[in-house]
Amino acid sequence: MKNTAVLLIHCADQKGIINAVTDFLYKNDGNIIDLDQHVDQESNRFFMRVEWDLSDFKIPKPKIYEFFDTLVGERFEMQWDLNFTEHKPRMAIFVSKMSHCLYDILQRYQSKEWEVEIPLIISNHPNLAYIAERFEIPYHVFSINKENKAEQERLEIELLRKHQIDFVVLARYMQIISPDFIKEFPNKIINIHHSFLPAFPGAKPYHQAYQRGVKIIGATSHYVTDELDAGPIIAQDIARITHNDTIKDLVRKGRDLEKTVLSQAIWNQLHYNILAYNNRTIVF
C-alpha cells in the first residue's frame, strides 16, 4: 500500500512555480514519485500534478494543507487540491437496466484491479439488484418520475453523504441528473455516453450513427454538468464499423467501448490524474 500525497494545482502561468513546489517538498524530505505539468497557451494557465512519498516527509499529514497554502499556494494564487493515497476513495454506482458496465466495474473491484470502496449501488429500477447481491453490495432503488424527482434526488444525496461518497459513476444510468444534484458533486459525477461526443448527444446515439452512415462509432466518459452530454471529456475510444453492421451490431460493439472508456475515467479519477478547467480536462 502506497503512502503518498497528490497535489493537483492550477494558477496563472508565471515564473518559479515548479521551483517553489519542489523546494517545498525537497526541504521537507519529500521524495517526488511523479511530477507532470502543463501550460495552456490559450488561457495562459499553469497546471500541475505532483505525487510524493510521505514516509520521511517532515510535515505531519494534518498540517500539510496549511503549510502548503501559506508557503506556496497563496503566493501564486493557486487553486489546488490535496489527496492522500492511504484513503481508499469511496465510489457510488448508479445504474438502470443494463448490466455490462456494472459487471465490468464489479469484476475490477473484486479482483483488486482498483483500490476503491463501493459502499452502495443506486438505481431507478430493481432489475439489477441480483447482481449487487452477488457482490454483497447494498442496492437502493429510487424510482423517479416528474413529480418525485426533486424529493428522490434529495434522498439520494443524503444517502451519498451518509456514506461519505467521494464520487459518483453513472454506469449507463438512464435518468438526467438535475442541477441541484450536480452542484453537490462538482466534477465528481462521471457519465458514460455512447457516442464520440460532440457527435450524437442525447437519446439513441447508435440509431443516430446508423442513420448518418458513419464508419466509426465511439464512447465518451465525461463529468456531468448542467448541459446534457456537454461536460468536460475525460476519455474517448472508437470502433470501426461497416455497412454490414446493423443498429443491433452497433449497440453490441458499443457496449465494449462503454465498458473500457468508463473504466479509464474511473482509473484516472481514483489516481487523482484529472484536472477540469474551462470545460476541458487535463489528464496527467
Residues labelled as active-site residues: 229
- What residue ranges bind a copy of itself (CB under 8 A)? 15-16, 18-19, 22-23, 25-26, 29, 31-42, 47, 98-100, 103-104, 107-108, 110-111, 113, 134, 196-200, 210, 212-216, 218, 232-238, 240, 242-244, 246-247, 252, 255-256, 259-260, 263, 279-283
Q: By C-alpha distance, which of 237, 233, 236, 234 is closest to 271?
A: 234
| Sign of the CA dihedral with 32 first, then 33, 39, and 43 last | negative
Q: Give the nearer residue to a copy of itself in terms of CB position, either 166 or 229.
A: 229
Q: Which three cell numbers stand for residue 135?
A: 457482490
Q: Give the nearer residue to a copy of itself in terms of CB position, either 17 or 120.
A: 17
Least distance to a copy of itself, CB of residue 118, Å: 15
Q: Give the nearer residue to a copy of itself in terms of CB position, either 83 or 99.
A: 99
Distance, C-alpha 161 to centroid of its chain: 17
Whether the CB-CB separation of 261 and 236 falls below 8 Å is answered with: yes
Edge to edge, the sheet with strand 139-141 lists 139-141, 117-123, 90-95, 167-170, 189-193, 216-223, 233-240
Least distance to a copy of itself, CB of residue 255, Å: 8
Whether the CB-CB separation of 125 and 97 falls below 8 Å is answered with: yes
If you search the block for the grid coordinates 481514483, which residue do you land on? 270
Least distance to a copy of itself, CB of residue 146, Å: 29
Q: Give the nearer residue to a copy of itself in terms of CB position, either 93 or 160.
A: 93
Least distance to a copy of itself, CB of residue 203, Å: 16
